[in-house]
Structure 1
Amino acid sequence: MMKINTYLTALCLWVMSVAVVAAPGGELAAWTKDAEKNHFNGVVLVALGGEIKLKRGYGIADKENKRAFSADTVFDILSVTKQFTAAAILKLEEKGLLSVNDPIERFFSQVPNDKRMITLHQLLTHTSGLQSDFKEDYEVVSRNDLINGALHSTLTSTPGSNYEYSNLGYSLLGIIIEKISGVSYEKFLNEHLFAPAGMSDTGYKIPQWPSQNLIVGYDGNSRWGTPLEHEWAEDGPWWNLKANGGLLSTLTDLHKWHVALSGKTMLTDASKLKLFSPHVAENEAATSHYGYGWAVFKTKRNTNLIAHNGGNPYFFSDFRRYTDENILILFATNDRSKKNFKLYGRLIKAAIADLNRTQEEG
């Protein structure tokens, strides 16, 4: 499960179809016309100052059945899953069941010497030195397979020394969540994150969405299908994908999660500080940093952007929280064309322009 690391340069991607909120005004209204004219594809939500200004779907979610995207389309959030895994670890820390400074040898037996002192903090910040992946996303990989593969893999760097994106590390975090909580990864997230936030359409298997609500992926002109059409275990994807990607969700649910993160009841202030702090630079220029499951940026306006995206050959998703300006932008698509990316970049600019206009008028 990839995270697309071109966040602030090309502004990464696309969006929308049946209106759910009042028609937007200003730059967002102009963008909507542009999106319709240029056959934009996907779903998008824009909230400015706490108010949803745009929540729509555009284009085709299922070509074979000529089914359009709607505001209720269920989509793969891909690597945006990681921030839920990070929040779950922090929930367990709040309960006193673990610490992010714990070494992994507390949770796994017979850890080789080169990995004994890898900490949860290092797994959360991609500084563990573990490889990116064990196998492909949809290969059959049991929990024990994943543990053995991780513990006996060759490290890419000394733990704690470098930022190197690791899906493998986040899958280990998912296993730790199961070991400490005594329930499945999805059940823990559902009980301690999703349900308290009012989210009923996010998960792997628990929500049981109607098939006609699911986004369909394409490999060129060939139908790849929905994630649920591919081989999963009884409780969700196999472990090379679980906890690092693959959760399914909706615009409505992700907006609820944004609201929960903005409030005081989901996580303590201390946990949110860990979640959103710029722990490690993602590149030599230090133009972006990584928190716990979130990338952290300073915009050209010197404001904070907390974001994460995800992609594979069939889908792309993006979750952007401009926390100083109270802007939320959500986007998901099955169209990875340059045209769609450019239109998405224009959407981001339109949202910021509309907020600035509203503030000036106020």
Structure 2
Amino acid sequence: MLFFVGELIFSFSIKKGNSEVNHKIASIPYSHRLSNVMSDTAGYRYIDSVITVFREDYDIKGLSVAISDGGRLIYARGFGYADAEKQEEVEPRHMFRIASVSKLITASAILKLVEEGRVNLQNRVFGPGSILARYDTSKITDPRALTITIDNLLKHTSGLYNKKGDVMFMTLSVARALRKQAPANMDMLVEFALSQPLDNAPGAEYDYSNLGYSILGEVIEQASGMPYEEFVHFYLLEPLGITSMKVGKSYLKDRDRDEVKYYEFNRDIKVQAYDGSGHLVSQVYGGNPIELLAASGGWLASPAELMKFILAIDGDPATPDILAQQSIAYMTTPYGKDNKLVGWKACDGHGTMWRTGTLTGASALVMKQ
């Protein structure tokens, strides 16, 4: 299952009129007000054909696309199936796992805390007097870890252990290494990471880290006194009228009613369940700890609602931003090699930014031009 967002610019407003009617409309999730029929016009036949060929070439069960221009949604359409077995077609309301596109949400949440004076980008994360001082660092292997800052985590320059594998996808191995009962939680993952030497000195090298962004989720909870997902909804999504986006679940039985079903190319391959149950499961349902990945890769979104959020953090004057100009500048100013950006993946130096995300069974792309 592939999820694709092509972003130019988008905003939404309800026309003035009967207040009771407007209230009822506003209570309906934004993406539920859209349908494939609304984009089924002659002007978009070329786009339809390109996407259809792409889907067929890569044997993709279903995908969804949203495009906006000049502050206005101009295209939102699903292709293929949300549930192939039931022959349920993808509509704009359907949500997908957006994987690492979730990092844009987490980076924005951290910067909202910075704007409110609850954290500082140079705050240390571990050790006495730090934000996450609750973590035991008495057995720390590499004392340089005590100098890791929020800025390091946001920019993937923390140096945290990563070379022998991504611990966010090795949770069973981590639990066994610590001789603790699975499923692993963030306390266990941090304990394990701090028991290993750093790969690099903090701030020295870019080394993509899912663990780093998951730790930022812990920072958000500690600084705000709220659960991570609740903070994001209250301070970022609800003010924008976004109501459907949420952190996903690991198992098929817990799938949201508007969430698509995920598929693998080889459905015969089974892996051990992340929760330590000993069950053999598909990688897409039970192989990865989606809830644990929340801040680094666990969110669900429809293209239209995700579009609405992206346009509130991109700095384009066509739509108001939910973050201050200084925060937007921090996220959109290139750093290091290859024009890296905070939250975003990178930019081309000529006005185009992008963010990708991949999990087994799902891929996502956001592009701002």
Shorter-chain TM range is 0.7 to 0.9
Tell me which amino acid in the other structure corresponds to 1:99.
Answer: N
Change (3 A) 1:135 1:167: closer
**In 2, Cα distance between the equivalents of 1:307 and 1:39?**
21
**Amino acid corresponding to residue 298 of structure 1 in structure 2:** D
Q: 5 Å matches for 1:20-39?
A: 20-23=37-40, 28-36=44-52, 39=55
TM-aligned CA distance change 1:175 to 1:84, over 3 Å: same
- In structure 1, the gaps of 5 or more residues are 1-16, 323-362
Residues 182, 74 of structure 1: alpha-carbon distance in 2 compared, 3 angstrom cutoff: same
The aligned amino acid for 1:151 is L
Q: Give the deviation of 1:71 after TM superposition.
A: 1.0
Q: CA deviation at 1:45?
A: 0.7
Distance 1:128 1:135 in 2: 16
Q: 2:259 aligns with which of 201, 208, 214?
A: 214
The 3-state SS of whatever aligns with 1:59 is strand
Which amino acid is the alignment partner of residue 345 of structure 2? A
Alpha-carbon deviations, 1:167-214, whole Å to 9, x = none? 0111111101111111111011011111111110111269xx984421
Aligned with 1:255: secondary structure? helix
Q: How does 1:14-25 map to 2 (within 5 A)?
A: 19-23=36-40
Matching residue of 1:125: 155
Q: Which residue pairs with 1:72 in the alignment?
A: 93
Q: 300, 307, 310: which is aligned to 2:354?
A: 307
1:257-268 → structure 2 map (5 Å cutoff): 257-261=309-313, 262=316, 263-268=319-324
Is the contact between residue 35 and residue 93 of structure 2 (CA under 8 Å) also seen in structure 1?
A: no
Give how far 1:309 is off: 0.7
Alignment gaps of 5+ in structure 2: 1-33, 57-61, 173-182, 269-280
Contact 2:97 2:248 in 1 (8 A): no
CA RMSD of aligned residues (A): 2.9
> What is the match of residue 365 of structure 2?
318
- Compare CA radii of gyration and give the structure with the larger one: 2
The one-letter code sitting in structure 1 at the alignment partner of 2:299 is L
Q: Tell me the amino acid that sits aligned with residue 265 of structure 2.
A: G
Matched, 1:136 2:188: no
Judge conservation of contact 2:106–2:213 (CA < 8 Å) in 1. yes
In structure 2, the partner of 1:156 is 199
The amino acid of 1:242's aligned partner reads: A
CA pair 89-20 structure 1, distance change in 2 beyond 3 A: farther
Measured after TM superposition, the shift of residue 305 of structure 1 is: 1.5
Match of 2:335 in 1: 279
Provide the C-alpha distance between the structure 1 equivalents of 2:150 and 2:347, rounded to a whole number of angstroms: 23
Alpha-carbon contact 1:231-1:237 (below 8 Å) kept: no
**Cα drift, residue 248 of structure 1:** 0.5
Task: Give the counterpart letter for 2:115 in structure 1.
Answer: E
How far 1:149 moved relative to its partner?
2.1
Identity percentage of aligned residues: 27
Residue 293 (1) aligns with residue 343 (2): yes
Label 1:313 to 1:143 Cα distance change in 2 as closer, same or farther (>3 A).
closer
Residue 300 of structure 2 is matched in structure 1 by: 248
Partners of 2:206 and 2:73 in 1: how far apart?
Answer: 35
Q: Give per-residue Cα distances to partners, 1:293-344, cap 9 Å, x unaligned.
A: 1123226xxx31122111122110111111xxxxxxxxxxxxxxxxxxxxxx
Instruction: Please show how residues 28-177 of structure 1 align to structure 2 within 5 Å.
Output: 28-36=44-52, 39-40=55-56, 41-105=62-126, 106-109=130-133, 110-111=136-137, 112=140, 113-132=143-162, 133-136=166-169, 140-177=183-220
- C-alpha distance in 2, partners of 1:117/1:293? 21
Q: Judge conservation of contact 2:341–2:347 (CA < 8 Å) in 1.
A: no
Taking the aligned partners of 2:52 and 2:306, their CA distance within structure 1 comes to 24
Going from structure 1 to structure 2, the CA distance change for 1:24 and 1:50 (only over 3 Å counts) comes to farther
Q: Confirm or deny: 8 A CA contact 1:186 1:203 kept in the other structure.
A: yes
Counting matched residue pairs gives: 290
C-alpha separation between the residues in 2 aligned to 1:200 and 1:231?
A: 28
